[in-house]
Each structure stands twice: as C-alpha cells, then as structure tokens.
Amino acid sequence: MNPVKVGLLGLGTVGGGTVNVLKRNAEEISRRAGRGIVITHAAAKNLDSTRADTTGIRLGSDAYEVVNDPEVAIVVELIGGYEPARTLVLQAIRNGKHVVTANKALIARHGNEIFAAAREHGVTVAFEAAVAGGIPVIKAIREGLAANRIEWLAGIINGTGNFILTEMRD
C-alpha cells in the first residue's frame, strides 16, 4: 500500500522534531498504521535554521505550495499564531486535506470556523497536540467513550489551558 503523504508547515523546534521522530520511528509507525506515513513536502521561513533530517523532503519557503500540493493528503501546521496559520489551514481544508495542528492560539480563536469548514469538506482536523498534548484524551473520549454521556471533566489546567478555555468561552 502506498504511504500517506504529509505536508509540513514549519520546521522550527516542533516541526523539526516531528520530522526526526517520523523518520526515526518509520517502521513502527508503518506497522501500527497499516501503511507508511512520509513527509514529502515542507515549508519554513528560514530553511537554514532547521536541525531536522530533511533528506527526501521537497523544501520551500512558500507554505501555499504545500497546502496546494495534490500529492499531500495531510497538512501538519506547526507555524503557530493566528495568521497565516488560519488561512493556510482553511485552504488545506478547501483542498480536501486532513489537518493536524499543535497551534493552541489558532484553535482557541478560530476553532469553530475551522471545524465547520472541515465538516463541510469531509475532512478531519486533529488538534490533540494543541490541548493536553501529553495525555491522549481527545481520541479516547471521541472514540472509546462515544456511547457515554459525559457531563463534565476534571483536571489540573495550566495557564495556557486557562487561556484557551477562556477564549473558547468568550
């Protein structure tokens, strides 16, 4: 089976780490996922500063080339902030691409708009890395507890979590 082709936006600390982890664990990821997951295209403002092993990845500074690449099935947004992240994510969704993001600010401020666009275009936006990244809770609630009626959750929330929840409430 052909590998899933991934486009990556941002090659900073998180983006570079993502490249290295996917490459280092490619065999195990492929075994668990049932097919390979390969980063084929990436964009970053400063390509010279990355510490990632970008061998075999088409690199550029234009993020729109990644989200418009017909070969890319999943776009991973790791640039942070509101813009151009929002515009790029929405363009990827309009292009029928699934999106993964670790961008807390983006989800807090534009989550409703992004999730509505994803529903409209039949794609998934995975954001677990943006909230409780160290605790795989969202997938467990969505899939493992789907038949349950969850009325509330309790936990210890840090300052970032408080900010996100406040933005979502407001």
Q: 159: domain CATH number? A: 3.40.50.720
DSSP state for residue 81 in the 8-state scheme:
S
Q: What is the pLDDT of residues 55-82, one digit of tens each?
A: 999 999 999 999 999 999 999 999 988 9
For residues 39 and 16, the answer to whether their CB atoms sit within 8 Å is no
pLDDT of residue 142: 66
Q: Is the pLDDT of residue 139 over 70?
A: no
**DSSP labels for 94-135?**
HTT-EEEE--HHHHHHHHHHHHHHHHHHT--EE-GGGSSTTS
What's the domain count of the chain? 1
Task: List Cβ neighbours of 104 (8 Å cut-off, separation of 6 or more).
Answer: 130, 131, 160, 163, 164
pLDDT score of 156: 52
pLDDT at 89: 98
Range of the domain at 98: 4-169
Instruction: Please give the Cα distance from 17 to 120 (Å, whole number).
Output: 32
Residue 132 has pLDDT above 60, yes or no: no
CB 76 within 8 A of CB 43: no
Residue 88 DSSP SS3 = helix
Average pLDDT for residues 137-165, to the nearest whole number?
66
Find all residues with CB under 8 Å of 12, minimum gap 6, and list them: 44, 49, 50, 78, 79
pLDDT of residue 145: 65
